[in-house]
A and B are shown apart, each in its own frame.
Chain A
Amino acid sequence: MKFVRKLGTAATMLVATIVPVVLLLAAPWWVLATALAGLAGWLALTRLGRQTGSIVLVGVATLVQRLGSSSVVVVGIAGVVGVLVALLAMAAGFEATLRQTGTDDTAIVLRAGAQTETNSVVDHDSAQIISEAPQVLKNAQGQPIASPELVVVANLPKRSNGMDANVELRGVGERAWELHPNVRMTAGRKFQPGMRELIAGKSAHEQFAGLDVGSTLKLNGQIWNVVGIFDSGDSHNSEVWGDTAVVGATYRRGSSTTSINVRLIDAGSFDAFKAALASDPRLQVDVMTTRDYYNRQSESLSREIRILGTTVAVIMAIGAVFGALNTMYAAVAARTREIATLRAIGFRGVPVIVSVLLETMLLALLGGVMGAALTWAIFDNFTASTLGTNFSQVVFSFKVSPLLLWSGLKWALAIGFVGGLFPALRAARMPVTAGLREL
């Protein structure tokens, strides 16, 4: 019987812990803001609330004496929040870089079955047919805005460690500038069609040695010149561009390319465009909006980073919870006399419980703010690069967004809640006489 009762108590405790934590983590910000306002009101206006407030103030005042153990809670939680936010910022940054590369009114066409541009081959005739589809936007001269592009990989030493890494080399067609209107030259000039000239994306230039204006590269035995640096504001910044036909010659691809990028009349014409290409018996292609395509490129890696980040944070959080429990149990034990006296005087159970809980959550919040601030200071806009799906380096920046920081704080509060709940209950259930006997 006693065992069943214990089991029941344990189960109730588990539920009492998990439910508020889940609610806290899942709740939108306005729910929490309202709850906070409610709490402030209760603290200021009701009798119980004011009692709680005064206990909390006493606790905070004596915090300095318990600096060592309080720092355990603060630092432990700062660590959890710091690591979580940093890893999530990595995933978010990678995703954002790729995500903003695509739009809804441009489409990319690959060979059927190819998942990425490097796997794809589109021959010259097919490229012609595709660019003549009626849904493709025509420029002022009546030419279809289509760019047959050839994606290959070149080897260059990284500036950071001198080791060779892959950089994506994209041959673009004449209409490429109209397809990518956001591209602006920041140094030098555009390459001339028909010449062995390259322009390097901003990030590629920063990552790799040998891409300054005026440098030369040897590709497959042929000399190429770097004539400019561009900024496109998206993942194309990790690429080096040249003329499709000339790149094709150097890499012995003849006249075939890896993909065709087209600008549609508008986003609405995509379905018609896709249907038109599907029904053409001469073509075996896959069609996507560029937004879809680039989204997919980032999907699996950012998901993996998120899983890693969350797993690490959960394990660290468990460690932090037990650290907090230790600290708060000790704090409650050290203040047994205080608490017993308060209760003998007439303070009820609720103020004692809530005050211990509040104190823990305040410490946790402090830890969360520290961790978030540290991560923001170190990692926001920190550039890193990794191997993209085209087997070449993609440069991205960590993105420590306010939403992410807010998530981190919520985790901190959740840990503080769990770490404070049980000591708080212990404080409230302590028999008054036992506490006074400690005197």
Chain B
Amino acid sequence: MKYLSLVWAALFRRKTRTFFTLLSVLAAFLLFGLLDSVRTAFAVASNSVAAADRLITVSKISFTLSLPKSLYTRIQTEPGVADVTYANWFGGIYQDPKNFFPSMAVADNYFDLHPEWQLPGEQRKAFHDMRTGAVVGASLAEKYHWKIGDKIPLQATMFPQKDRSNVWTFDLVGIYHVDDPNLRGQESNFFINWDYFDEARSLGNGTVGWYVVKLADRNRADQVAGEIDALSGDSDHETKTQSEQAFTAALMGQFADVGLIVGAIMGAVFFTLVLLTGNTMAQAVRERIPELAVLKTLGFTNRTVLALVLSESVLLLVLGGAVGLGIAGLIVDAVRTSLPAMGPTAPMVPVGVAIWLQGLGLMILVGLIVGALPAVRGMRLRIVDALSGR
């Protein structure tokens, strides 16, 4: 610690040069923060603790195909199944197709299987009692300034009502919250009652989109999944049951190999960063060889000189990187709360502890890489030669 002021003074010897380098480091880690936020969103889409106990059952042909509701009682009686619920995609639009959010018709006990969506008891009851009731996520309600008691019309894209009208009107009776900041993206769902939906729609009555199964013992996930699928084997509605994690991963994977794209971009960015800061450090140390020699005359050991140079490069990276990550965090928060088109459904997680730890690790690693050669050079200098300028 007592060497900190020495390292700091050395770093800011050439203020302008250090300042510019810091800004480049800042830019690199700003990008890292933003891109990693997107990458994590795709990766943790369904990694909540509760999800580990759930299976999703959809039609084997494709999840856009419906399943008969009769499967419900048959799945329920399967050993290993603690609870089961069902839902259907509704696909409603609020005012403008650009205002996209997921809307689903769900069974009464849907919230039982999703404890991570916190809904107050009396709102649950209101949802149960009112056929035309709707429960929405807090982020969605905030975005459109909906309050309990509002009447919300949705335009159906897939399910016109029996009376051929395209507009379904719902009464907002509940707003649910999600605590885990990484899962905040799930606070944008719009839920309606399946019974009302099935009764009023003109197509596909008596069918559901998917089943959600709660496992009694999560270690038996594979067996239970196999047994559920066996219920419909060789019928005209073959099912595919898998863990919720696997299902979401497969869905996300179809969109793009986001990890690969982000990795490639960050690879290019860090390559240039290493080159840039490496150059700066090499220059800085080259200029300071005589000073390092003086330190050695005073009795600083070779190892200490090595450590001083390495500390300098790590400090350079950490200073610039921390500010860059901080700004990234601010930007992500701003985008998620204010941008009208994307807003709550933007595929970004807040820049939390995980991303910070990764970022700090990278800063230290790059700092060490970049400082290695100059540090060794400083360590190896021969005092007599360096002092005489050779």
Interface of A toward B, CB cutoff 8 Å: 68-69, 71-72, 75-76, 79, 82-83, 111-115, 118-119, 121, 152-155, 161, 163-166, 219-221, 251-252, 284, 311-312, 315-316, 318-320, 322-323, 325-327, 329-330, 384, 386-387, 391, 393
Contact = CB atoms under 8 A, between A and B. Distances in A.
Contacts of A384: 256
Contacts of B11: none
Contacts of B30: 315
Contact of B237 (A71, A75, A220, A284): A220
Contact of A326 (B28, B268, B280): B280
Contact of A221 (B97, B238, B276): B238
Contact of A319 (B16, B250, B273, B280): B273
Contacts of B62: 152-155, 166, 391
Given A79-B271, A153-B61, A316-B27, A221 B235 contact: yes
Contact of B238 (A165, A220, A327): A220
Given A316-B27, A386-B254, 9 more contacts: A75-B275, A113-B155, A113-B156, A115-B157, A251-B61, A319-B273, A319-B276, A323-B21, A330-B17
Interface residues of chain B: helix, strand, loop or mixed (majority): helix
25 contacts: A76-B272, A79-B268, A79-B271, A115-B97, A119-B158, A153-B61, A154-B62, A163-B253, A221-B235, A251-B61, A251-B65, A311-B34, A312-B265, A315-B27, A315-B31, A319-B269, A319-B273, A319-B276, A320-B272, A322-B24, A327-B279, A386-B255, A387-B255, A387-B256, A391-B62
A319 B23 contact: yes
Contacts of B156: 113
Contact of B275 (A76, A111, A152, A163): A76
A323 B276 contact: yes
A319 B203 contact: no
Contacts of B34: 311, 315
Contacts of B263: none
A300 to B, nearest CB: 8
A219 to B, nearest CB: 6
6 smallest beta-carbon distances between A and B, as pairs? A319-B27, A153-B62, A322-B20, A319-B24, A79-B272, A322-B23
A252 B236 contact: yes
A438 to B, nearest CB: 15
Interface string B356-384: 00000000000000000000000000000
B64 interface: yes
Contact of A114 (B28, B65, B158, B237): B158
A327 B283 CA distance: 10
A329 B20 CA distance: 11
A220 B158 contact: no
Contacts of B265: 83, 312
Interface string B237-259: 11010000000001001111000
A316 B269 contact: yes
Contacts, number: 136
Interface of B: 16-17, 20-21, 23-24, 26-28, 30-31, 34-35, 60-62, 64-65, 91, 97, 155-158, 160, 164, 166, 203, 234-238, 240, 250, 253-256, 265, 268-269, 271-273, 275-276, 279-280, 282-283
A251 B204 CA distance: 12
Contacts of B166: 112-113
B78 to A, nearest CB: 21
Contacts of B236: 220-221, 252
B268 A82 contact: yes
A155 B247 CA distance: 13
A154 B26 CA distance: 46
Contacts of A161: 253
Max chain A Cβ within 10 angstroms of own Cβ: one of B31, B235, B276: B276
A221 B234 contact: yes
Contact of B21 (A69, A252, A318, A326): A326
Contacts of B21: 322-323, 326
B272 A69 contact: no
A165 B282 contact: no
Contact of B203 (A75, A121, A152, A221): A121
B279 A68 contact: yes
B61 A284 contact: no
A393 B254 contact: yes
Contacts of B256: 384, 386-387
Question: Which of B155, B203, B240, B265 has the most chain A CB within a 10 Å cutoff?
Answer: B265
Contacts of B20: 322-323, 325-326, 329
B276 A391 contact: no
B98 to A, nearest CB: 8
A323 B31 CA distance: 16
B282 A68 contact: yes
Contacts of A82: 268
A257 to B, nearest CB: 14
Contacts of A327: 279
A71 B275 contact: yes
B272 A75 contact: yes
B275 A69 contact: no
B275 to A, nearest CB: 5
Contacts of B17: 326, 329-330
B390 to A, nearest CB: 19
Contact of A72 (B61, B91, B279): B279
Nearest to B17: A326
- Interface centre among A71, A311, A316, by most chain B C-beta atoms within 10 angstroms, is A316
A166 B254 contact: yes
A87 to B, nearest CB: 8
Contacts of A152: 61-62, 64-65
B158 A318 contact: no
A329 B268 CA distance: 25
B366 to A, nearest CB: 13
